[in-house]
Amino acid sequence: MFRALLTSRLQAAFTAAGIDLPEGFTPGVVIASDTRFGDYQSNAAMILAKQLKTNPRALAEQIKAALQVEDLCEKITVDGPGFLNLTLSPAALAQRLSVIVKDVHVGVPQVEKAKTIVVDFSAPNIAKPMHVGHIRSTFIGDSLARVARFIGHKVITDNHVGDWGTQFGMIIHGWKTQLDQSKLKADPIHELVSVYKAVNAAAKADEAVLETCKAELVKLQQGDAENLGIWKECVRLTLEQLEKVYGALDIKFDHYLGESFYNDALAPLVAEMLNQGIATISEGATVVFSDGSVKPENDPFLIRDKDEWKPAPCIIRKGDGGYLYATTDLATIDYRVKEWQADEIWYVVGAPQQLHFRQVFAAAQRRGITTKMIHIAFGSILGPDGKMFKTRSGETVGLLEVIDEAIERARTAADEKEQGLSDTEKDEIARIIGGGSVKYAELSQNRLTDYKFSWDKMLSLQGNTAPYLINAYVRTRSIFRKLDGEVTLTDDLAITEPAERALAMKLAQFAENAHDILDDHRPNLLANYLYELADTYHSFYEACHVLRSEGTARNTRLTLCEATSRVLKTGLGLLGIQTTERM
């Protein structure tokens, strides 16, 4: 907000000073990294002086003279080699504060041009174990979708579940020969996965079992009624259970258009790509080769083999007529573009699928699709020992297990802190803290780095954790509880103390932060911001009496508490984390 305002004033100052801007140069203002000289800073004069070969300080002085920011700043200085430093006035900060406590978007401006953005995330595979990659995707995707929606985009969330594929040969065989109905009823995902694992092992040991599974798969693909029925039941049971998990985590999808939804589109798509000359037949398969339009190092259809670039085609139909993951993804893009008029599609999927998406995006572009497609990749989650993350029982971890354990641990912690809460209240708090802790542990990390999963760390009340932030929120609420609702905040505000100023400044920066998150799709920028906000709030609370102050000071401080409360709640909400009034 301030950044955008000051940037436009700065640009106007260049015009007013009669300085022509060279092509490709747009002067800008950033939040000062060292706040001793000001709140915002611009190095535009230094960059431009270099190009124009003039003195940067003199140029900065010239811009300063033309800069009209009396309504926003109390001080402008030229420092060092030619930095312009801007210090906001207490009145401007107070004015922002009163917006933050009233505005539904807590002062965050809406985008000028709303886009239709499809967010493709979570997407587990039916009857296959859900792995940590699905956990990361679920949390990152949900948060990015919330942020995009919050700043005014039209967002469509789509869970592209793997509900079709070779695993169903094994599942159907297992269903017919060894399914335990009672276990299936109790925990369908678990039973289907264990049947799949057992048949998979049997098929590895015995060629005959493998053949039977293949035959079951062919029957399914040819529309055999019994096999189709089993497949449908597997999908239904899994989705039903998944929706419960998503529900407990407060995650919603607008659509569940899984892979099978596109089955009928695959044959015509491949035919069309052959017609368009984008695909060719090679050794019986239908594939997309490089068209030589980009440098080999940027070409997803080439792979380096020693000193040579060799073709790495994308297969869209196998020799036996079977279609692939990539074919489905191409059909999915068509659908999202045609039916939803998607301007952008975000794929929140682990880094190992990078080549797949590069190929699919390039193939779609060759088909004339101009929608912006972005692969939002992430690394892995490691156990505390730095190796693959495992559960207590030693299995690879799925979303369900992690959430259950987090809630259970948070419940134990709530019991230990017994403070006159009922069991139902404690259950609710445990659900919020448990789920929130796992989400926050994920979202506070740079998505591209691997991170270590640590129960103790994520559930701790100290440090950069969900409990710490939720606790900061609870503290802001407890002030208002003490006042028993008898408080009407007014616009009579005066920011005088340094601690008040620091907090008002931090609160105002949410307007910028909420937009910056989407520059590179990084929820950790928001997490870090909220952590800093909570810290700034604690320092303010230690430095300034709130309830024992009077008049304008009291109204200002209560308004700061209320604004902090609103920004924390909204910000945590954008991470998909709920708050509780007590803990």
Which positions lie near ligand ARG, rule CB under 6 A? 120, 123, 125, 160, 162, 329, 332, 347, 349
Could you tell me which of 511, 444, 505, 504 has the C-alpha nearest to residue 152? 511
For residue 120, the minimal CB distance to ligand ARG (Å) is 5
The amino acid that residue 147 corresponds to is V
For residue 347, the minimal CB distance to ligand ARG (Å) is 6
Alpha-carbon torsion angle 238, 244, 249, 254, nearest 10: 70
Closer residue to ligand ARG, CB minimum distance, 123 or 527:
123
For residue 429, the minimal CB distance to ligand ARG (Å) is 33
For residue 373, the minimal CB distance to ligand ARG (Å) is 10
> Using an 8 Å Cβ cutoff, are 344 and 374 in contact?
yes
Closer residue to ligand ARG, CB minimum distance, 332 or 445:
332
For residue 404, the minimal CB distance to ligand ARG (Å) is 21
Closer residue to ligand ARG, CB minimum distance, 85 or 327:
327
φ/ψ of 535, rounded to 5, equals -65, -45
Rg (CA), the chain: 28
For residue 349, the minimal CB distance to ligand ARG (Å) is 5
Map tokens 């925990």 to a residue. Answer: 187
Closer residue to ligand ARG, CB minimum distance, 109 or 379:
379
> Using an 8 Å Cβ cutoff, are 10 and 64 in contact?
no
Closer residue to ligand ARG, CB minimum distance, 40 or 357:
357
Closer residue to ligand ARG, CB minimum distance, 124 or 571:
124
**Long-range Cβ pairs for the range 55-60 (8 Å, 24+):** 56/81, 56/82, 57/81, 57/82, 59/19, 60/84
For residue 119, the minimal CB distance to ligand ARG (Å) is 11
Map tokens 């009145």 to a residue. Answer: 91
How many residues are listed for the chain in this entry? 583
Closer residue to ligand ARG, CB minimum distance, 58 or 448:
448
**Distance between CA atoms of residues 157 and 134, nearest Å:** 15
**Distance between CA atoms of residues 502 and 479, nearest Å:** 20
For residue 125, the minimal CB distance to ligand ARG (Å) is 5
**Distance between CA atoms of residues 363 and 326, nearest Å:** 10
DSSP for 419-476?
SS--HHHHHHHHHHHHHHHHHHHHHTS-TTS-EE--HHHHT-SSSSSHHHHHHHHHHH
DSSP state of 290: -
Closer residue to ligand ARG, CB minimum distance, 178 or 396:
396
